[in-house]
Amino acid sequence: MMIPKKPLVGIIMGSSSDSKVMHSAAKILDDFGIAHEDQIISAHRTPTRLEEYAKHAEKNGFKIIIAGAGGSAHLPGMVASHTIIPVVAVPIMVYNDKSEKKQERFKFSAFGGMDSLLSIVEMPNGSPVATVGINKAANAGLYAVKILANEFTELQKKLKMFKQKQHQSVLDESDEMKKTGLVKFVQKKFK
């Protein structure tokens, strides 16, 4: 079955600053040829929009929602509570406090993203979300691809090729390290 051109995945985030992390999910989906729709929806500042979005996602046939949020990170759980679509959550370490001061525009979570992670993984029974690591939006994208591969065999082939490329890149780096030695390898690779 061919992958449709219409969006199969919704990518949402609580603030524009989250886009610095969430674009990695979009990049993975783009690489695999999966259409997605991306929006900013705040669980706290636009709660009615969040409920409308869940209905919109179902009506438009989205298969997965990837939701990124920092701080108290309510967005993934709240959208999951309004839909039957699987939600993959991305806890985010950086959040925007909407400060007027340019130098303070982007703040780091006081707990290094652990606040977001724990807020998401401790969802009550009955409203689960799948959760990736802190700032690991690319993994959320890959997880979405794996879910979609159950329906679209074309994606299964692309995932196998992706895994083979990963495998080969490790072998190539290992060969290079053996040839140059560890010190020169690090100097060349991480200068």
CB-based burial of residue 20 (10 Å sphere; 0-12 exposed, 13-18 middle, 19+ buried)? middle
pLDDT tens for 86-112 read 999 999 986 555 555 555 555 666 677
How large is the angle between the packed helices 153-180 and 137-149, nearest 10 degrees?
A: 140
Stated as kind and residue range, the H or E segment containing 152 is: none
Is this prediction's pTM over 0.85?
yes
Report pLDDT digits (tens) over 29-60.
Answer: 999 999 999 999 999 999 999 999 999 999 99
Instruction: Return the sign of the alpha-carbon dihedral for residues 7, 11, 16, 22.
Output: negative
